[in-house]
Amino acid sequence: FNAMPGLHHREPGPIAAAADRRDVTCEIIADGVHIAPSMVRLAFSLFPERMILISDSLRACGLGDGTFELGGQLFTVHGNRATIENGSLAGSVSSVMACLRTAVTKMGIPLADAVRAATMTPAKALGVEDERGSIAPGKIADAVVLDGDLQVKHVVLRGKLLF
């Protein structure tokens, strides 16, 4: 949905083409910077079990506001938005967890749908759903435990509590 041609009745573009294909998964950056909330909701309704939450987080993620360099070019971070000198979007500094939180709390995506888009659907797309992406006997025991505000409370890696 980012930097793609829009929907048009004679030139439907990649979004309509993907809607016609049950074997296509769709990635979306729900950081509140790249794509309007109404388009995120549309994407989740068009592809209810085929959405994958991603980020395009720059290496300044977690460093706060400021000016940073990447590949010889300076970019400025304000909030989660990163821009280059002329004001054009360079990306964001939102993690996938932040995108999940934004999708649910600011865009109206149901929690179960957002969690599936960050866990089960990517695992299936990568062909690792037998070992990752959900909690079940025999699967690798990686998990993130969230509180009621969708903040990370605990992280479990291979069955061991990290914090």
Q: Do 112 and 46 sit in the same domain of this protein?
A: yes
Domains of the chain: total: 2
Distances (CA, A) of 28 to 4, 9, 117, 163: 12, 23, 9, 29
The answer, yes or no, to whether residue 64 has pLDDT greater than 90, is yes
Q: What is the pLDDT, as a whole number, of residue 36? A: 94
- Expressed as residue numbers, the domain containing 78 is 60-93
Q: Do 16 and 85 sit in the same domain of this protein?
A: no
- How do residues 102-156 score in pLDDT, each as one tens digit? 999 999 999 999 999 999 999 999 999 999 999 999 999 899 999 999 999 999 9
State how far the Cα of 133 lies from the Cα of 48, in Å rounded to an integer. 17
Alpha-carbon dihedral angle through residues 111, 50, 53, 129, given to the nearest 10 degrees: 90
Structure confidence at residue 75 as a pLDDT band (50, 70, 90): very high
The answer, yes or no, to whether residue 3 has pLDDT greater than 90, is no
SS3 118: helix
Neighbouring CB atoms inside 10 A of 67's CB total: 11
Tell me, yes or no, whether 142 lies in a domain.
no
State how far the Cα of 97 lies from the Cα of 83, in Å rounded to an integer. 21
Tell me, yes or no, whether 144 lies in a domain.
no
Q: Would the pTM of this model clear 0.85, i.e. be above it?
A: yes
Tell me, yes or no, whether 44 lies in a domain.
yes
The answer, yes or no, to whether residue 6 has pLDDT greater than 90, is no
Q: Do 116 and 41 sit in the same domain of this protein?
A: yes
Residues recognised as catalytic: 56
